[in-house]
Amino acid sequence: MPDAPDILRLENLQVHFPGRGGVLDHILGRPSAAVRAVDGVDLAVRRGEIVAIVGESGSGKSTLGRVITKLIQPTGGRLLFDGDDVTSMKGFSALRPYRHRVQMIFQDAYQALNPRHTVFDIVAEPLRSLRLVTDHTQLTQRVRQSHAAAGLNPPEEFFARFPHELSGGQRQRVVIAGALAVAPDLIVADEPVSMLDVSIRAQILQVLMDLRQQRNMALLFITHDLPVAWLIADRIAVMYLGRVVETGTADDITFRPRHPYTVALRNATPHVRGHSDREKLPALKGEIPSAARIPNGCRFHPRCPLAFARCREDAPPTIEVGPEHTTACWLMK
């Protein structure tokens, strides 16, 4: 896997949204602070690799996924897919080949499915819109194969059903089947199992891992759950306030974290707490700070106030701390 070529590469990718100032800001004419949802992300995903993006809600994970799938345009940086620069690509016609190769699985399957369409039409829609089939027989065959690959068996039993007639796990499998129908090279899965029961969650994760083995498909798996990331991923990237603060193998990030935020995430997870001899830090408390108003202090390391104040003005350099293990923190200098 380390020798496989990159299918996706992000270089200093940025997504900034205009902020909304208060009444006093308008009176005094002060500009509103921009929300730095994604603030200079460098990341690579190899062919056939599963990379997990881990972090709290508000860290920029979902925004990053939407930029990669071209649902949001980046503010700066570059997005390279299979060696081609697709950063500025826009418009349905221009994006048609890209949509064929990159698909997304959304967190809320019920909201992602059209309640007026049958399961057959939902899975067939990307095939029709991308003009990948020529006749109804071929369309039915592709839909049947996608159903089977997503674990909807027997496929014909689900063709005429509507989303409200399915369980949560079945709806999530329909979303996966829709993504698989076009035979993509990369799937971005945004919290695909967070709303499911534990038993169904395991089945969906197994489906995704099996598809990677069968199709050599790359998967960018977005989650807030570190144990789930460790279970499914080859490598893990940890995001905080729009930046990737640490990357490494699943074992390194879970059991040998180096960045204070990663350590705090690990300590907040009962399943993996105590698996490291490194310094124990207090668990995270409260909500993640706003990306528009980053505080001076640090919420996850007692020695970090001065370093974190520096982070507001100057991003820390990425330091290699082991094989395929990097971290970005001034305390590591």
Beta strand segments in 107-250, E: 186-190, 218-223, 235-240, 243-249
Is the pLDDT at 169 greater than 90, yes or no? no
For the chain, domain boundaries: 6-112+187-197+223-332
Q: Is 223 exposed, middle or buried (0-12, 13-18, 19+ CB in 10 A)?
A: buried
Spatial distance between the Cα atoms of 124 and 201, rounded to a whole number of angstroms:
25
Q: How far apart are CA 219 and CA 236, in angstroms?
A: 12
Residue, of 163 and 265, whose pLDDT is higher: 163
Give pLDDT, residue 24.
63
Residue 171 near residue 107 (C-beta atoms within 8 A): no
CATH entry 3.40.50.300 includes domain 6-112+187-197+223-332: yes
Q: Identify which of 118-127, 282-291, 297-306 has the greatest average pLDDT.
A: 118-127
Place of tokens 């960045």: 259
Q: pLDDT of 235-286, one tens digit each? A: 999 998 889 999 999 999 999 998 888 888 888 776 554 444 444 555 566 5
What does the pLDDT average to over 43-61? 93
Rounded distance between C-alpha atoms, residue 43 and residue 11, angstroms: 7
State whether residue 286 is helix, strand or coil. coil
* Average of per-residue pLDDT values in the chain: 84
Alpha carbons 173 and 188: distance in angstroms, whole number? 15
Instruction: Name which of 76-90, 157-171, 182-196, 291-305 the model is least confident about.
Output: 291-305
Q: Give the integer Cα–Cα distance in Å for 269 and 34.
A: 32
pLDDT of residue 85: 94
Residue type for position 114: N
Distance between CA atoms of 257 and 291, rounded to whole angstroms? 24
CA distances from 127 to 120, 146, 199 (A): 11, 11, 31
Could you tell me the sign of the dihedral formed by the alpha carbons of 248, 252, 258, 263, in that order?
positive
Q: Which amino acid is at 136?
A: H
Beta-ladder partners of 240: 243
Region 128-137 average pLDDT:
90
Q: Which residues pair with 6 in a beta bridge?
A: 46
Q: What is the DSSP string of 183-212?
A: --SEEEEESTTTTS-HHHHHHHHHHHHHHH
Residue 214 confidence (pLDDT): 86
Report d(CA 64, CA 60) in Å as an integer. 6
Does pLDDT of 184 surpass 50?
A: yes
In this prediction, residues 125-129 reach a mean pLDDT of 92
Sheet holding 235-240, edge to edge: 102-105, 186-190, 218-223, 50-54, 235-240, 243-249, 325-328, 318-322
pTM of the entire predicted model: 0.86
